[in-house]
Structure 1
Amino acid sequence: MIRTGALLRFRRALVLVLPGLWVSGVLAWECVSPLGTEFMQLLAAAPAIACAGTGRRRCVLLGGLCALLALLPIGPVARAGAAARLGTCCAILAVVGASYLTSGRGLRLLGQLEQVRQVAAAAQLAVLRPLPPRIDGITLAGVHLSASEGALMGGDLYEVLATPHGVRLVMGDVRGHGIPAIATVAALLGSFRDAAHDEAELPDVLRRLERALQRHLSEKARTGPPGPSETEDFATVLLLEVRGEGHVAALNCGHPWPHHLTRTPEGTARVVALEPGDPLPPLGLFPLPARLPLVPLPPLAPGEALVMHTDGAEDARDRAGRLFPLAGALADAVRSAPLVPAAIVERVKAALLRHTRGLLADDFALLAIGSDGPPLPGPLALPCGRS
């Protein structure tokens, strides 16, 4: 960070002094040139350099100075006569005018681009809404990093909702990444936000997600540009439900299982990669089976945490091709600190960016939840999904 800041300051200083250095160099060479060659015409480049680097006002001021210098009888140009000096002055003024108009058009385009970015950012935040710090005794934090430059989100998704049936959350990863995947993410999140409140059983929420994905992919195949068919698109999904006394149940369609973070009685942090069973196939590849039994996960006791992630966390590589050690990063994040979701997410994110040097090949999402309050009301039922 220190090196980056120093480099930026150096570049800004260089941009400020470069036009002046150019003018000084041209004048010096004009005065000492042993060949009698005229170099004053090179002063016309100084206003263009100023416009490109420091703005239109400096361009006009420096251009006026160069035009006056071109009229002065300096060096070999003094023998060329007033006509030659006037021609050089006019050429400089023409460059000033062209640079001024070009710079103005560039500023207008930058303003329009900034407006487009603000609209795009607002639209993306409406799809992947910021998480509240606490829901019904559950503390939570999430982060998403897009592999596409300029995008706030991509093919990863998460949401946590307090519903009459408990706290429900979804973590998912659609095929592809970056901006092209946002439409599929929006379809899944929109369906989850309705189904999580409407459906009493978690398997029925998953079936709603499957239907929403199929509708979206069918519509995409009918109206979208030529490309992969809907049979080649899919989404991995992890659904969790937290009920009474921190009991957790899950349904998993091809997604990585969470990590369970606890502390031993001696205070040592433990990171356990949960493997409660084989997940179902990703949504979109095969129809869901008629029976969808819930998978129980370890209860979420006060002082513990569950961390969900997408495969972009485990598949991130450094320049040498080494995979990101997610379990090790989680252990380092809680080695000597409380199991606070916000702190866990921030430390793992920083470790990932250090590992990859900010160059992501795939989208990355991380979601952590913990219990900090009294037990949630209501028993945890583990029913099978309706056929």
Structure 2
Amino acid sequence: MIRTRSLVSDGSRLRRLAPLALPTAWGAVTVAWKFGCPLARQPGLPMRIATSVVFLTVGIGLVLGLRRGLARELALVRAVAVATQQALLRPPPARLDGLALAAGQLSASRGACVGGDLYEAVATPYGVRIVIGDVRGHGLAALGAVVAVLGSFREAAHDEAELGGVLRRLERALERHLRERARDEHPARTGTAPEHPAAEEFVTLLLLEVRSDGRLSVLNCGHPGPYRLGRTVERLPVGDPLPPLGVLPLPAALAPYTAARLRPGETLVLYTDGAEEARDHRGRFFALDTVLAGMCGVAPEALVREVHTALLHHTGGRLTDDVALLVVRNDRVRVPAQPAEPGLRRPRPAPSSHC
């Protein structure tokens, strides 16, 4: 097994060096010709020009070889990043238990496909359960917390009958991750202070359940409330916020907010705070509600695409925080009350007896 890994490593190393083989060999021949051939040492302008052209050709070949090798490595890294994103932030299904869904993310880290935002939607016996969250910071340093929270949600959403039980499972998973990070970052092991210490990491999070009749149950841990698009655009009430996960322990009693509803045809837009905190070159915030006001009735996938385009235009492509969007539209059909069949009479109530 070890020998096989060694052979694979040697093969990949040879493939990376292959583009440099021809320029290196040509350079070696040029140096040998320059210092070993009497004709090359003759004075005169023509010979100097010829020597300069030869060495310039060798230099260009080396640069192009290095550039080709770096481009190949960059393509490999991007392929790995895309595969990581698909495994970590899986695109939601286009339809889920009568709901139409779409999601997308913009990373603030240049060249990164994933960052500190997370989202997921799953169909369970208790309804469609959705989570969207934002880890403090962005980029690769926040991936550990994203993995811990999403992995726990994908299991707990099916196991826990109560939405509060799901949230407690997420809290325990994040606490385990932070304890492991704090142990790994101890000065006795690293000798240096971490750039993003675990003691300063927390997750704002919105946990939501859409039942078959459109009723919503919401638990909000310091996350911005979603927008509901119907005839108008309004911010959906989500009740009193709980502390973000990782800051303070959750209270003993967790009562979801249940007074909201997603009616047939209405759309819910969940997002992370990077959307509303994005600024242009003049320091003006991105007006997400204004942008959404012109998108009532737009399909979820098109809505995500249009908001991303507007964000990049507003910021000039220079995001300072990750942005995630999850759009849910209720496509369930409301069945009207059916009239009684002809010829059937409603039975009369039996006469009441009096003592």
- Mapped pair 1:291 → 2:253: yes
- Mapped pair 1:329 → 2:291: yes
Structure 1 residue 314 displacement after superposition: 0.8
Partners of 1:261 and 1:339 within 8 A in 2 = no
- Mapped pair 1:311 → 2:311: no
Q: Counterpart amino acid of 1:249?
A: S
- Mapped pair 1:340 → 2:302: no
- Mapped pair 1:165 → 2:129: no
Q: Counterpart amino acid of 2:206?
A: L
Give the match for residue 252 of structure 1.
Answer: 220
Give the match for residue 361 of structure 1.
Answer: 320
Structure 1 residue 199 displacement after superposition: 1.0
Q: Counterpart amino acid of 1:117?
A: R
1:168/1:92 CA distance change after superposition, 3 Å: same
- Which of the residues 136, 142, 164 maps onto 2:103? 142
The CA distance in 2 between the partners of 1:316 and 1:116, in whole Å, is 28
Partners of 2:220 and 2:239 within 8 A in 1 = no
Give the match for residue 234 of structure 1.
Answer: 202
For residues 126-173 of structure 1, give each alpha carbon's deviation from its aligned partner in whole angstroms, at most 9, with x where no partner exists: 111112111010111111100000111211110000112210000000
How do 1:199-214 residues align onto structure 2 when only pairs under 5 Å count?
Answer: 199-214=160-175
SS of 2:294's equivalent? helix
The CA distance in 2 between the partners of 1:322 and 1:102, in whole Å, is 44
Moved more, 367-376 or 206-215: 367-376
The CA distance in 1 between the partners of 2:298 and 2:330, in whole Å, is 10
Give the match for residue 90 of structure 1.
Answer: 51
Partners of 2:133 and 2:272 within 8 A in 1 = yes
Q: CA RMSD in A?
A: 2.1
The share of aligned pairs that are identical, in percent, is 51
Structure 1 residue 219 displacement after superposition: 0.6
The CA distance in 1 between the partners of 2:140 and 2:197, in whole Å, is 18
SS of 1:290's equivalent? coil
The CA distance in 1 between the partners of 2:48 and 2:302, in whole Å, is 67
The CA distance in 2 between the partners of 1:347 and 1:339, in whole Å, is 10
Structure 1 residue 374 displacement after superposition: 4.2
Gaps of at least 5 residues in structure 1 are: 1-54, 60-80, 264-269, 377-387
Q: Counterpart amino acid of 2:314?
A: H
Structure 1 residue 297 displacement after superposition: 4.6
Structure 1 residue 241 displacement after superposition: 0.5
TM-score of the pair, normalised by structure 2: 0.77
Structure 1 residue 87 displacement after superposition: 2.0
SS of 1:285's equivalent? coil
Partners of 1:137 and 1:375 within 8 A in 2 = no
SS of 1:283's equivalent? coil
The CA distance in 2 between the partners of 1:108 and 1:276, in whole Å, is 52
The CA distance in 2 between the partners of 1:319 and 1:333, in whole Å, is 25
1:128/1:374 CA distance change after superposition, 3 Å: same
1:83/1:230 CA distance change after superposition, 3 Å: closer
Q: Counterpart amino acid of 1:209?
A: L
1:346/1:247 CA distance change after superposition, 3 Å: same
Q: Counterpart amino acid of 2:76?
A: Q
How do 1:106-185 residues align onto structure 2 when only pairs under 5 Å count?
Answer: 106-185=67-146
Q: Counterpart amino acid of 1:366?
A: L
- Mapped pair 1:271 → 2:242: no
TM-score of the pair, normalised by structure 1: 0.71
How many equivalent residue pairs? Answer: 290
SS of 1:244's equivalent? coil
Structure showing the higher helix proportion among its residues: 1
SS of 2:286's equivalent? coil
